[in-house]
Structure 1
Amino acid sequence: MKKILFIGAGSMAEALIQGWIKQEVFKPQEIYITNRSDNERLQCLHDTYGVSILQNDATFAQLDAIILAMKPKDAVTAMQLVCTKLADHTAVLSILAGIPIDTITENLGDRPVARVMPNTSATIGMSASAIAFNNVVSVEQRNTFLQLLEAVGSVIEVQEDQLHAVTALSGSGPAYIYYLMEAFEKVGTEVGLDKDTVRLLMTQTLAGTAEMLKQSPEEPNELRKKVTSPGGTTEAGIKALEHHHFNDAIKACIKDAEARSRELAKS
């Protein structure tokens, strides 16, 4: 793919733009951007990454793919505005939460469509992405889309319906981890450490724990038990989590996010 267009210019679009340019998947001038009305945002991305702001409709005929990155509530309107401008060969990569492939083809025609749920860690080449394809996507296009996502992290292929769960877990996952870090920093300062010290300790702890899960053949509960000595400090902390229904909170978090994704699909 030599020319692509982002329709929408939010944080996820920026994460992919930054990641792809950093990994030299695209040159800045091969990436076009547009959105509904926020010209200041477009100019900011242009100044920061050197990407091109879409100036006229003639560019549409040259595009290999468009990336749908607008807010889900604006998706149908945006697709209706561009549907007659796209070339027959132009493929679609959607990063929209909840918007099904059927809705995309209803508005953009029977063309190759891939739905992907990445996350903002694509910025540093560490996204966890899942992707689903319609039956119009060729083997070559499928491989190209997979390579695009592999350039900014890891990617797995799933059934489209599973993307609701992916959205709730890894798509929204960075926000949950940042929220957890906020809590660590707050309580860390309450028990006598400065914020920078807490940040250093906990970011390394999170990174080390993630690497242990990747490298160790043991299940998480076995690794947890190895850290939890009977009558010790870790056991006291785990008991507090159980007392405050930590598992129930996580369950509610994921199920509510997954349900919201399905609501977006229906609407």
Structure 2
Amino acid sequence: MKIGLIGTGSMGSLLLDAFIYFGAIQPQQLYISNRSKEKLLLLSERHEGLNISQNNIETVTHCDILFVCVKPLQFTTIIEEIKDHVRSDQLLVSITSPVQLHHLENNLSCKIAKIIPSVTHKVGSGASLVMYGSRIQEKEKQLLHDLLSFISKPIEIKETQARINSDFTSCGPAFMSFFLIKWIEAAVEMTGISREEITCLASEMMLGTGTLLTQGGLTPLQLQELVAVPGGITAQALSQLNQSLDGVFHNLITTTHNKYVEDVEKLNELLGDIN
């Protein structure tokens, strides 16, 4: 099996590194192309045997599965470039959330899927969200599922729920890190504790909490109740948090959804003009 990657930015490179590191594929199976040749050379130095394509068409012609890892508004250029070179038996996988399955199926003759990856795949963890186009058969579903299973827990979702799901799986690590940073800054300022020490403790706490929720059989509410004894310090602090954060998460979801709708509308205009 040959796999192609168009776009080796932060997420494209992360997927490539993870696939190789966790044994999903060998460098010799990969063909990559990118606007910046410097990024391609750096990746080839990191992974001996990696195939660097001269252009996107060369990547397409060599691969069975093609991951397109570019920004939303770059898809018009990519589609125009490769549309006459894709094959009906190929599987093209977009990792770009606002690009809809119908955008791709209306303009390309190959089989289409979409995934929303996460930075957590860097350590072989987290969920990858998977959506399939109308031409996909069970064998392609299984092929993509098996590939993603090396680096994540693949979960099939409805495309209509992609935004809210990716708020948690893809954006979530940044949101949780933001919370930790603010908490750590307050701890350092108010108590004088070493930033390195408290960051280490906070990181270990996050790891343990995630393990309890994924492997320990606890729900978030059960975990909260296990720690927050009525009348205790944790319970009192949680009461304060509940008041302080009132409405925050509704605003967060509104913000991410509004941006998503804006991007989809732009793509509807742009990709609708491609025949």
Verify the 8 A CA contact 2:128 2:152 in the aligned structure 1. Answer: yes
CA drift of 1:243 comes to 2.7
The match for 2:252 is 253
The match for 2:234 is 234
Q: Distance in 2 between matches of 1:219 and 1:105?
A: 39
The match for 1:200 is 200
CA drift of 1:146 comes to 0.6
CA drift of 1:28 comes to 0.9
1:95 aligns to 2:95 (yes or no)? yes
Q: Distance in 1 between matches of 2:210 and 2:262?
A: 32
Q: Distance in 1 between matches of 2:60 and 2:129?
A: 27
Tell me, which stretches of 5 or more residues in structure 2 are unaligned? 267-275
The match for 2:76 is 76
TM norm structure 2: 0.88
Deviations 1:207-226 (A, max 9, x none): 11112222444432232123
CA drift of 1:184 comes to 2.9
Verify the 8 A CA contact 1:97 1:264 in the aligned structure 2. Answer: no
Deviations 1:105-161 (A, max 9, x none): 22222x211111110111111031111111211211110011111110111111121
Q: Distance in 2 between matches of 1:226 and 1:24?
A: 38
Q: Distance in 2 between matches of 1:204 and 1:174?
A: 15
Verify the 8 A CA contact 2:2 2:31 in the aligned structure 1. Answer: yes
Q: Distance in 1 between matches of 2:175 and 2:59?
A: 39
Verify the 8 A CA contact 1:95 1:118 in the aligned structure 2. Answer: yes
Deviations 1:207-263 (A, max 9, x none): 11112222444432232123123443213321331232x252223223321332233
Amino acid at match of 1:41: K
1:21 aligns to 2:13 (yes or no)? no
Amino acid at match of 2:174: A
| Aligned pairs for 1:106-121 within 5 A | 106-109=106-109, 111-121=110-120
The match for 1:49 is 47
Verify the 8 A CA contact 1:112 1:137 in the aligned structure 2. Answer: yes
The match for 1:132 is 131
CA drift of 1:5 comes to 1.5
Q: Distance in 2 between matches of 1:91 and 1:215?
A: 33
Verify the 8 A CA contact 1:66 1:91 in the aligned structure 2. Answer: yes
Identical pairs, percent = 23
RMSD: 1.9
Query: What SS does structure 1 have at the residue aligned with 2:97?
Result: coil
Q: Distance in 2 between matches of 1:127 and 1:102?
A: 27
Query: What SS does structure 1 have at the residue aligned with 2:247?
Result: helix
Tell me, which stretches of 5 or more residues in structure 1 are unaligned? none
Q: Distance in 2 between matches of 1:252 and 1:198?
A: 29
Q: Distance in 2 between matches of 1:59 and 1:234?
A: 55
CA drift of 1:16 comes to 1.1
Deviations 1:3-41 (A, max 9, x none): 121111121111211111012211112112222x32222
The match for 2:269 is none
Verify the 8 A CA contact 2:188 2:194 in the aligned structure 1. Answer: yes
Query: What SS does structure 2 have at the residue aligned with 1:25?
Result: coil
Verify the 8 A CA contact 1:167 1:258 in the aligned structure 2. Answer: no
Aligned residue-pair number: 263
Q: Distance in 2 between matches of 1:95 and 1:247?
A: 33
Verify the 8 A CA contact 1:117 1:166 in the aligned structure 2. Answer: no
Query: What SS does structure 2 have at the residue aligned with 1:108?
Result: coil
Amino acid at match of 1:198: I
TM norm structure 1: 0.91
The match for 2:86 is 86
The match for 2:273 is none
| Aligned pairs for 1:117-266 within 5 A | 117-190=116-189, 191-244=191-244, 246-266=245-265
